[in-house]
A and B are shown apart, each in its own frame.
Chain A
């Protein structure tokens, strides 16, 4: 040991968060395009978000889930194999998936092929042919994926949580039945595409080694002729229960861990109090040096990666606390999580704790903006939340304004244990008695 301890070196002021310079154009069809120049590598990244997600499928969600699996099945002038080969020639990747709200196309390309890539993406999006053979393969794969997904305790817990929080609202639907997937034919998918895949309400982000105006021109050239009227249909937001929902155990016999998920309402990103809630969440369990991690991992050793996070859908934001804990320490882990939630709700956080969380949030936001893909994904999330692309301009100042009073108020409302719903997936016979000693358990 050294006779006198060395002190960590002082850290100077961070450079300010650079707000990416952007250009924006809304095409006459309604498609909004936002472009940012980032010349770090000779590539470009795109994110295209169309309000044709799972909640827009009025049935069981199968059509909205099959659409991204079959979009690349063929266009007017290319088979699926030819599309795949063309992407390779362009030095490009293109991923399609559906989230609760949107159909999302995302990918990257060598920047000098950006125009050809956007042309290809436009033809995939607007002239898919949905060949029967491709649909048959996509159905089998999706059905298999659902089976595999359901065998994961985290998915089981998430499905139970969605049902408890959102009930009959489309957000409350879990994964569809694999048999329903296998029964779905071409016509419903094509119809869902025709009704929902429209430019109005769609947003595209382009980030790459290209001047923003040129990127906008390329996007307009490729997508300008995409016109189609939106079908009627509007979804209302869900009502989220905030109190009195008993803990639910989903039995998984023989499980060596219990998957704990605790959830409740949260604020959307464009709410004036959102950053106060975000900081409260960080202090509680949102990063490695949070109270939750220090307690049930670094002190008790009950779990490997406990965390809390806020996730957003267009009509509902959710706060979730997640931990996979050893079966034999299920009740003790639950007790500690409750204790930490109660501390957040009933006591003021330390100023230094809040300042550390603030510096972390400012820092990792800046770090996320150091790649083309990072900038594209960040802008995509910001804009989807209804915020301006230059939201970051006032970000650090807004963070600075949050004090311990604001955090206390948000925690009392959103982290109070009585306002949260708990789901456990684990070996009921091994855990039920101890858990029931702590709180009521649903039958």
Chain B
């Protein structure tokens, strides 16, 4: 409690609720369509989420899901290379795509007069893509430059999002280099791409989401018009990426020629994001309590008290966000620290702070983090893009886009005892991964 100043009114948290409308239909070819109308701005977000990601990649083709995402912009049945982008930007919008562990998405943010155009564009590449050896060569080169700028030529490139899962996990779907080994990328063929498209880009393997200035019934009719005649194909079984929790600590040293200072990332497994949602949500608040901002335990400890670290971070999720992961997820804590490359003092302080959380969490402290997290969620939901992405992932992975309205309540239900229990169960030193990041020349 503060000594002086105004107290927030008690209604603050209660108002942090959302009533985001969700309507859905399924076309006969299996395409699931979700519309979330919001007429407040003349803008619309359209996204196609395919159930394919890093975890679907075959051995010998690391990075292929992402390379393939690039190929989806290289021309389709009715449109030559470049036309998709020109129709998007030339009508006042933008598009992008991204590849994650459990999905690959393609999306357009458009003035709402271009809604039907966006649906046409997504339908056209679901119909088929126009692959040429030149385009494959070109996008392989672009992807290699992407990996260089984000990882190989950058200090701390790929630090906790790319490399830490490779230490925490042990099976190929979870532990391989998701951005891709250059030899694997070079080896990819047009036949690989055609087979990948046939297998994973079936209408029944996709969720189409429209959020914003759109009438649900008219949008369903438009979707049927543009996607309805794409033939149904067999839908692959969902990847089972389950694997045991590490039986003992896993540790790896990574040498970074560009990093001026050492860093350390610690990974733990988490409660199952789907089957044990309540504990998974408790883990997100545990993460906030430990690492989110100036008031967090580890910021106070490592930056303010020990004065050993300059930056502390943490998250629950993989490269995909907290509620955009279906398979095994990760609880991550990271710190950049001063002095010699020896993570032991940082790890010792982390362990002590986790032990304190296991001993008990004050209700007032948890309430503050819950309140801050709910306010952040509300802020994020103001963005049509963020809202549409959460809706899409929740529908794709849980069949329940409505969960977007549950988040405030799910957070509010977490008790101090839940946070301590989840910490005791999951943040065990013996079941963690440590990525020991050291500056210096690569041997």
Contacts and interface: CB of A to CB of B under 8 A. Distances in A.
B338 A144 contact: yes
Contacts of B11: 112
Interface stretch (A56-64, A146-154, A190-198, A261-269): A146-154
B8 A294 contact: no
A188 interface: no
A121 to B, nearest CB: 12
Contacts of A92: 372, 375
Interface in B312-368: 336, 338, 368
A42 interface: yes
B246 interface: no
A371 B374 CA distance: 18
A288 B89 contact: yes
Contacts of A294: 82
A11 B82 contact: no
B85 interface: yes
Interface string B125-159: 00000000000011111111110110011111000
A301 B42 contact: no
Contacts of A1: 77
Contact of B111 (A14, A72, A140, A373): A14
Contact of B93 (A89, A255, A367, A371): A367
Contact-residue size bin, chain A (C-beta under 8 Å from the other chain): 35 or more
Interface stretch (A98-106, A358-366, A406-414): A358-366
B138 A324 contact: no
A12 interface: yes
A112 B12 contact: yes
A78 B78 contact: no
A336 interface: no
Contact of B153 (A93, A113, A256): A256
Given A14-B111, A41-B378, A303-B145, A110 B78 contact: no
Among B8, B120, B124, max chain A CB count under 10 A is at B8
Interface stretch (B231-239, B303-311, B389-397): B303-311
A362 B92 contact: yes
Given A110-B16, A148-B155, A301 B304 contact: no
A43 B18 CA distance: 12
Among A41, A80, A88, A363, max chain B CB count under 10 A is at A88
Contacts of B142: 297-298, 301, 303-304
A115 interface: yes
A55 interface: no
A1 B382 CA distance: 42
A140 B307 contact: yes
B15 A42 contact: yes
B58 interface: no
B109 interface: yes
Contacts of B240: none
Interface string A65-84: 00000001000011011111
A401 interface: no
A81 B295 contact: yes
B137 A72 contact: no
Interface stretch (A2-10, A223-231, A379-387, A416-424): A2-10
A8 B120 contact: yes
Given A288-B94, A356-B90, A84 B42 contact: no
Contacts of B41: 18, 369-370
Interface in A120-137: 120, 123, 136-137
Nearest to B157: A152
A116 interface: yes
Contact of B92 (A112, A256, A257, A366): A366
A12 to B, nearest CB: 5
Interface in B1-60: 2-9, 11-13, 15-16, 18, 40-43
Interface in B249-265: 257-261
A84 B295 contact: yes
B114 interface: yes
Contacts of A18: 41-42
A264 to B, nearest CB: 24
Among A141, A255, A297, A363, max chain B CB count under 10 A is at A363
A299 interface: yes
B138 A140 contact: no
A144 B336 CA distance: 9
A89 B2 CA distance: 10
A81 B305 CA distance: 12
B112 interface: yes
Contacts of A136: 307
A91 interface: yes
B144 to A, nearest CB: 8
Contacts of A91: 8, 12-13, 16, 371-372, 374-375, 378
B268 interface: no
A110 B371 CA distance: 10
B116 interface: yes
Contacts of A254: 257
Contact of B82 (A41, A144, A298, A371): A298
B259 A151 contact: yes
A8 B155 contact: no
Given A116-B8, A287-B89, A304-B146, 20 more contacts: A6-B77, A8-B78, A8-B120, A15-B113, A40-B382, A43-B375, A77-B2, A84-B295, A88-B369, A91-B372, A92-B375, A93-B376, A144-B310, A148-B336, A254-B257, A289-B90, A298-B82, A299-B138, A359-B92, A372-B379
5 contacts: A11-B113, A14-B92, A287-B94, A359-B91, A362-B92
Top 8 nearest A-B pairs by Cβ distance?
A363-B92, A301-B141, A91-B375, A84-B294, A84-B295, A144-B310, A116-B6, A15-B42
